């Protein structure tokens, strides 16, 4: 089935100086965890997005952007998310992509009013 629904591109996101930051353990689900870099309130978040079309095929797009989003999810009220932070940067105007391209991005001095949290009734990220 994956033959019919495979994505036409690969996307890699690399955060600048992520290796030098303090890392926190993030629980993804019951048996899976991953490490993530820690960003504090007021710090800038910088990095680069690499978009790579598969098999060298030409890919038409309606624009490429990166978003920085903070949400509160209430598990008892499924489908309802409170967005407390939303920033975006346009990386490329509509056009074609045939070869891998890397786009740098910066979210400068981001005010992060809450810490990440994952509990029984709510998740904040």
- 6: which DSSP letter? -
Q: Which among 116, 33, 27, 121 is positioned nearest to 80, based on CA atoms?
A: 121
Relative to beta strand 64-74, strand 33-37 is: unpaired
Dist. CA 58–CA 97, nearest whole Å: 6
11-36 pLDDT per residue, tens: 999 999 988 999 988 877 778 888 88
Q: Is 94 helix (H, G, I), strand (E, B) or coil?
A: coil
Contact between 69 and 85 under an 8 Å Cβ cutoff? The reply is yes
The reported pLDDT for the residue numbered 1 is 47
Other C-beta atoms within 10 Å of 99: how many?
9
pLDDT at 104 over 80: yes
Residue position matching structure tokens 């991005």: 105
pLDDT category of residue 10 using cuts at 50, 70 and 90: very high
Query: Is there a contact between 105 and 89 (Cβ–Cβ < 8 Å)?
Result: yes
What confidence score (pLDDT) does residue 15 get? 95
Q: What is the C-alpha to C-alpha distance for residues 76 and 21, in angstroms, rounded to an integer?
A: 34
Q: What architecture (CATH level 2) is domain 2-124?
A: Sandwich (2.60)
pTM score, whole prediction: 0.80
The pLDDT tens digits for 27-78 are: 777 788 888 898 999 999 999 999 999 887 888 999 999 999 998 888 777 7
């Amino acid at each position: 089935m994956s033959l019919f629904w495979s994505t036409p591109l690969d996307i890699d996101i690399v955060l600048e100086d992520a290796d030098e930051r303090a890392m926190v353990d993030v629980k993804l689900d019951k048996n899976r965890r991953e490490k993530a870099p820690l960003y504090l309130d007021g710090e800038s978040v910088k990095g680069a997005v690499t978009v790579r079309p598969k098999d060298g095929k030409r890919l038409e797009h309606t624009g490429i952007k990166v978003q920085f989003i903070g949400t509160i999810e209430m598990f008892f009220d499924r489908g309802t998310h409170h967005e407390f932070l939303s920033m975006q940067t346009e990386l490329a105007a509509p056009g074609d992509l045939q070869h891998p391209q890397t786009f740098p991005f910066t979210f400068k001095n981001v005010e992060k009013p809450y810490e990440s949290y994952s509990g029984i009734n709510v998740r904040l990220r």
